[in-house]
Chain A
């Protein structure tokens, strides 16, 4: 039948990059204080770069103690009126913000991908839509707080200091700001050093929505900016998402003060595959669990626990699937894995992978051509990993998966729980009773069954053990921002 065979070029997808000519970034961004963009007292700036090209995108301000103090004062002043507004009025602002995020979704998605390195398909389909959904969802709670907590009076706490990470910049901003504002608090938010741009675009959105001045203040900067917030005496609450080390520092620093605290920290989450699982879909779930956002996900399924009886064929399937991943330009609509967020993070990942090799685990990386400039790391899976290896215990925060095996459900639970962390877990089985039994025995804030990395504003998210405390999302997410009498 060898007639009419086409030339065997293979199906090479032509580049399909998002255009970037429909918006303009400012050369220099000021701080957003009291409803205005103002120059930093520090007179210092830092460059934020595109990790895929190492080109500078813009200069942003570095807020020092004086700048943080100005922000807190503005938030304190605004609190007096914002907290007294009827909930339905606050809701109107939040709905408006949600709508403007949707209107500017394309611009926000592109800037998110340029500043952070994540593939456009993720910023377009996940980060920005869910960020808008968070504002929409919490707008709905703003005038229903007395029904949310029957027979109790719920009042706002005051000024919230919020410090967010670089992996989901606008989404983490939404997780923090939406419930705080819905409950009547005002905020000072510090975006991460490497990804400040969408927070600054969000400041513009606050102006567009005519949010009263001082309700939201954005202080860009470095770790000392965050430290100034943690130390500031007039901040009533610190909400932090980031590394466990910094979380511990914040907890020590705020001990004995009036500050309330919620921490959403690291993880080493287990994705557990039983021998009766829908294998092809489980492979997709493992891929999504660890390679989503280059593995820069606090709840990444970075430990694969696979039942020993199917380990070999399952790993074959996984490796074959990894070879199909498209690594490259984050703005290309067909890119599956983008750039590593920063040179520092790339270095961390490389060190962990070295340690995995040194400790005797077996490495697999599919052949893939990485761009010459920028920060890149190929998708990586380790097999023959032991519970005692560093790559099985410590958070790598990159596209690196460690595979371990188990024999029984009890052993799976024991291994999954044998970690200082407790953020998330995934279970893959066709058996409903197995899912329920596992979910009861896993010490993880989120347990996904036959799916992974699924986020929704209505669902609470948070950790056990050193993965932190406090919940964001859903009804639970109101608690950290309310005083209940």
Chain B
């Protein structure tokens, strides 16, 4: 018999514990039933804005649309200085330069999706070139997608190598790795993919592109956070987490924050370690803040569209 050989990434994956579907969904549901009221609700809503990657990822995006989005990210509620700016805007690479021009050095980051987003079905050389171009255009964060085709075919080394190559191409830019959990098929696969991404150097791991459903469900987020927690425990390196896709209401955003708080702890409740990717969430949060402060709901007309 030939000697048993395996790549380092395969050796790593053998140590990843399995995930029980029923129990993880139960735990997520139990955390979602936390009752967040009054001062804690306001605190969470404020934080949800601070950690938001305000996103537009449409074929129909124009420079006008992106400028409008950036203005909303900088001043979500014009005339109310107590409302903070979002963490970043998230756009296609072709819009990175426009976004950078709009946000300047305000502190709002420019995140560009890359690597043939959303499918990832292109050549590595093209992907690497895309990353470099996006960074040169002004993106200081890149959101890459993993090669799900390779992952589902069991070619974990290829998935890993691609992330390493992108990591290198990023230079100083911050790397978020999108697993596209809705295509992976099981929580076990989500957990494995999380470990591959963290081992390959991801600064953040991110659930979804927003183009596939289901996206950032609570149990998926819980599985990824548990992977991050174990990674931190074993390596000392803190990896960030970004749920994206399907988080449309303040209530959902708060449920995700509760999950972070009780799984990773308060150290992760900062934009350095936690983001929410969302396109339509912001105005619901503003509406809920206004409701908490005044006791009554205002009509949608009082909140500006991006």
A-side interface residues toward B, CB under 8 Å?
A: 1-6, 8-16, 121, 125, 276-281, 284-285, 316, 324, 333-334, 430, 450-451
Contacts and interface: CB of A to CB of B under 8 A. Distances in A.
10 contacts: A9-B43, A11-B44, A11-B47, A11-B266, A278-B18, A281-B19, A284-B26, A285-B23, A333-B35, A450-B22
B40 A14 contact: yes
Contacts of B284: none
| 9 shortest interchain CB distances as A-B pairs | A281-B23, A3-B107, A16-B35, A278-B20, A333-B35, A281-B20, A14-B40, A11-B261, A14-B38
Interface string B34-62: 11111111011011001000000000000
Interface residues of B, number: 40
B23 A14 contact: no
B262 interface: yes
B37 A16 contact: yes
B19 A11 contact: no
Contacts of B26: 284
Nearest to B272: A1
Contacts of B20: 278, 281, 430, 450
Contacts of A276: 18
Contacts of A281: 19-20, 23-24, 27
Nearest to A15: B37
B270 A6 contact: yes
Nearest to A310: B17
B45 to A, nearest CB: 11
B85 A280 contact: no
A41 B218 CA distance: 58
Contacts of B44: 11
B109 interface: yes
Interface string B257-283: 110011000100111100000000000
B118 interface: no
Contacts of B87: 4
A450 B23 contact: yes
Given A11-B43, A13-B40, A334 B35 contact: yes
B183 interface: no
Contacts of A450: 20, 22-23
Given A4-B50, A4-B85, A279-B17, A451 B22 contact: yes
A285 B20 CA distance: 11
B84 interface: yes
A434 to B, nearest CB: 13
Contacts of B40: 11-14
Interface in B209-257: 226, 233, 257
Given A451-B22, A451-B23, A6 B37 contact: no
A4 B261 contact: no
Given A11-B266, A278-B18, A333-B35, A2 B23 contact: no
Nearest to B26: A284
Interface of B: 17-20, 22-24, 26-27, 33-41, 43-44, 46-47, 50, 84-85, 87, 107, 109, 174, 226, 233, 257-258, 261-262, 266, 269-272
B266 A8 contact: yes
Contact of B271 (A5, A125, A284, A430): A5
A8 B100 CA distance: 29
B117 to A, nearest CB: 22
Contacts of A285: 23
A277 B262 CA distance: 22
Given A3-B107, A6-B270, A13 B23 contact: no
B275 to A, nearest CB: 11
A3 B26 CA distance: 36
Contacts of A121: 33
B271 A1 contact: yes
B69 to A, nearest CB: 17
Contacts of A279: 17
A451 B257 CA distance: 26
Given A12-B40, A280-B19, A4 B34 contact: no
B272 A5 contact: yes
A4 B107 contact: yes
A286 to B, nearest CB: 11
A131 B212 CA distance: 41
B140 to A, nearest CB: 9
Given A5-B271, A11-B261, A14-B38, A278 B50 contact: no
A321 B233 CA distance: 14
A278 B38 CA distance: 37
Contact of B272 (A2, A278, A284, A451): A2
A16 B85 CA distance: 29
A16 B43 CA distance: 15
Given A13-B36, A281-B24, A281-B27, A6 B46 contact: yes
Of listed A1, A4, A13, A278, residue having the most chain B CB within 10 A: A4
Given A4-B84, A6-B50, 10 more contacts: A1-B174, A4-B85, A4-B107, A6-B270, A10-B269, A11-B40, A12-B40, A16-B36, A281-B23, A334-B35
A1 B271 CA distance: 8
Nearest to A428: B20
Contacts of A278: 17-20, 23-24
Nearest to B46: A6
A50 to B, nearest CB: 21
A430 B19 CA distance: 9
A136 B75 CA distance: 56
A430 B181 CA distance: 22
A13 B270 contact: no
A6 B36 CA distance: 18
A450 B24 CA distance: 11
A16 B38 CA distance: 9
A400 to B, nearest CB: 22
Contacts of A10: 266, 269
B42 to A, nearest CB: 9
Nearest to A120: B35
Nearest to B84: A4
A47 B266 CA distance: 44
Contacts of A2: 272
Nearest to A2: B272
Nearest to A287: B27
Nearest to A278: B20
Contact of B109 (A1, A6, A15, A324): A1
A2 B17 CA distance: 34
Contacts of B269: 6, 10-11
B195 to A, nearest CB: 14
Contacts of A8: 266
A280 B190 CA distance: 14
A5 B261 contact: no
